[in-house]
Amino acid sequence: MHFASDNSGPVHPEVLAVLAEANEGYQMAYGADTLMDEVRDRIRDIFEAPEAAVYLVATGTAANALALATLSQPWETIFCAPMAHIQEDECNAPEFYSGAKLTLVPGGDKMAPEALRQAIENEETRGVHGPQRGPVSITQVTERGSVYSLQELRALCAVAKEFDLPVHLDGARFTNALVALNCSPAEMTWKAGVDVVSFGGTKNGLMGVEAVILFDAQKALEFELRRKRGAHLFSKHRYLSAQMAAYLRDDLWLRSARQANDNCARLADGLRAAGASFAHEPQANMIFANLPRKQHRRLHDAGVAYHLWGSNLEGSDEDELLTCRLVCDWSIKPEEIDRFLALL
C-alpha cells in the first residue's frame, strides 16, 4: 500500500508498449523524430491551439524553469503561492534559469486574485531599485491537492493581464485537475488567459516526460535554445515522444487521471467515514488527512507508505491529530484502498 507519491508508481503498460514499438530502426535525433510530429499535432488538437509551440522535457522542474525563463527577464520577479513547487521544491532552478526572483503572494495554497493584485501593485513602486513585475505562475492542481475552478483561473489571469504580465500554469497534475473540473484543456489554459503551460505526464503514468506548450509561438526558438543550453534536449528524443504519444493515444492521460482521482475519492470517503478530517478538501488525487497518532502508528506498522506533513510519529499523545499526505496514482488497486481503510 503505497500512497507516498505519484512519483513512486509504475509506468503504464501502454507506455512501455509504445516505447518498444518506437524502438525500431533509425530516427532523427534531437526532436526531429516522426513521433514528435504526432505528439505536436495531437497536443495542438487537444488544446485547440493549431499555432502552439510544443516541446518535451524529462522533468517537471525543467518544464517550469524553462517556461518561466522564457517568459521573464532577469530583473523581474515571478508571482506565485508560498507553497508553489517552484518556490519550495526546485532548489533555486527557476531562479537559476530565469535570473528572476520569486514574490510569494500571501495566502494559502491557492492564490486569491485580490492578494495577487496587491502583490503586483507592491512591486515596481521604486523605479529601477526593486525588481520589475514578471510572470504569474499558477499551480494546478495545487501542492495541497486543491483545484482552481475555471472562474478562479480566469480571475487570476485577468489580474495578470491588467498589468500586462504573462501567465504560466504549472500543470504537473494537469490532467487530474482537468478531470476534476470536467472541462476542456483549452478552457483550463489559453481560454482562461494562460500563456504557457507545463503539461505534466510523469506523475500520471509516464517515465519522465512533460510537455511545455507556448500558445504564442513567438518565443519558440528562444525556448529551444534555452532547452539546449540547459542540457535538456534529448539526443534519442524519440523515447520522450513515444511516451507522450502513448499518453495521448486512446485517452490514456484521461483514463489514468480519472483512475487516480477515483482512487483518491474512494480513499477520502473511507477516511471521512472513519472520522478523519481534512486539512484541505480533496479535489484531485491528493489527500491531507488528520488522524490520531495511534492510527498512524497502526498504518505505519502495517507497512503503509505515506508522508506525515510537518510532524512525526514520535510523541506520547496517542490521540494527537497528525496530518498526513496520501497521494493516489492510476496504478492503485481498489483492494489496496480497502485494505488501507480496514486498518483504520
CB of 57 to its own copies, least distance (A): 8
Distance of CA 238 to the CA centre of its chain: 23
89 contacts its own copies (rule: CB under 8 A):
yes
Task: Give the C-alpha separation, 196 to 166, whole Å.
Answer: 8
334 contacts its own copies (rule: CB under 8 A):
no
Could you tell me the CA-to-CA distances from 59 to 90, 93, 200, 254 in Å, in that order? Answer: 11, 12, 9, 20
Q: List binders of its own copies among 283-302 (CB under 8 A).
A: none
Tell me which of 108, 113, 230, 270 binds its own copies, using CB under 8 A.
230
Tell me which of 273, 302, 305, 313 binds its own copies, using CB under 8 A.
305
Stretch of residues binding its own copies (CB under 8 A), selected from 38-46, 120-128, 250-258, 279-287: 120-128
- Helix axes of 238-248 and 252-273: crossing angle, nearest 10 degrees: 60
Could you tell me the CA-to-CA distances from 251 to 13, 157, 164, 273, 329 in Å, in that order? Answer: 14, 28, 35, 33, 16
DSSP SS3 for 207? coil
- For residues 166 and 137, the answer to whether their CB atoms sit within 8 Å is no
H or E element: which one contains 20? Answer: helix 13-22
Q: For residues 57 and 192, which CB has a smaller minimum distance to its own copies in the complex?
A: 57
130 contacts its own copies (rule: CB under 8 A):
yes
Stretch of residues binding its own copies (CB under 8 A), selected from 84-92, 159-167, 184-192, 281-289: 84-92
Task: Give the C-alpha separation, 22 to 239, whole Å.
Answer: 7
Q: List binders of its own copies among 140-159 (CB under 8 A).
A: none
Cell of 90: 526546485
184 contacts its own copies (rule: CB under 8 A):
no
Stretch of residues binding its own copies (CB under 8 A), selected from 188-196, 217-225, 245-253, 319-327: 217-225
Task: Give the C-alpha separation, 200 to 175, whole Å.
Answer: 8
Instruction: Please choose, from the candidates 288, 315, 302, the residue with its C-alpha nearest in 3D space to the C-alpha of residue 344.
Output: 302
Tell me which of 34, 41, 228, 315 binds its own copies, using CB under 8 A.
228
CB of 2 to its own copies, least distance (A): 4
28 contacts its own copies (rule: CB under 8 A):
yes
- CA-based Rg of the chain, rounded to a whole angstrom? 21
Tell me which of 37, 225, 317, 318 binds its own copies, using CB under 8 A.
225
Farthest CA pair distance, the chain: 63
56 contacts its own copies (rule: CB under 8 A):
no
Q: List binders of its own copies among 34-53 (CB under 8 A).
A: none
Q: How many residues bind its own copies (CB under 8 A)?
A: 73
CB of 339 to its own copies, least distance (A): 15
CB of 152 to its own copies, least distance (A): 26
CB of 325 to its own copies, least distance (A): 13
344 contacts its own copies (rule: CB under 8 A):
no
- Cβ-proximal residues to 231 (8 Å cutoff; 6+ apart), any chain: none
Q: List binders of its own copies among 197-216 (CB under 8 A).
A: 202-203, 207-208
DSSP SS3 for 199? strand
